[in-house]
Amino acid sequence: MRKIASRTNTKELLSQINVTSLVDVMLVLLIIFMVTAPMMQEGIDVNLPKVRAGAITSDEEPLIISINKKGHLFIEKKKVTVKELGKKLSTILKRRKEKMVLLMADAEVPYGHVIKAMAEIRNAGVDKVGMVTEPLDAKMK
């Protein structure tokens, strides 16, 4: 007579991985990054003028010159005077392949301040000067 083996007595190894806890952790991390990513943008607070224009494309990360509401000039986040702007820009641009600068001026800055900054930028040997603006809203059209 043959013996019939019952399945309750044999021990089998489970070869499945339980990923439920891993998925939970990944979803929590995703939510955290989605909430904190917009808060990580840093820079000078500038109220940009709104216009209709196309985007500028470049291989390198462009150098950003900012003029805030009070008329203070910044290269990236470092405050400079109009007299220092030309010297510092030419020093920075010596190491760059593409000599391109984006000028970001507050909408309330007098036109003369922006033109003085642009003149210093051009005198520093910048080939391309782009003006950073915000797109027009549908309401403003």
Assigned domain for 80 exists = yes
* Per-position pLDDT tens, the chain of length 141: 555 555 555 677 767 778 888 899 999 999 988 888 776 666 556 666 666 655 555 566 778 888 888 888 998 888 888 888 888 888 888 887 777 888 888 888 888 888 888 888 888 888 778 887 777 664 444
Which residue range is the domain that position 109 belongs to? 50-140
Structural contact between residues 87 and 123, judged by C-beta atoms closer than 8 angstroms: no
| Torsion of the alpha carbons at 141, 132, 118 and 99, rounded to the nearest 10 | -140
Q: Residue 129 sits in a domain of what CATH number? A: 3.30.420.270
The pLDDT of residue 139: 47
Assigned domain for 91 exists = yes
Q: What is d(CA 122, CA 59) in angstroms, rounded to the nearest whole number?
A: 20
Assigned domain for 36 exists = no
Place of tokens 């939510």: 31
The pLDDT of residue 59: 62
**Which amino acid is residue 28, in one-letter code?**
V
Assigned domain for 14 exists = no
How many domains, the chain?
1
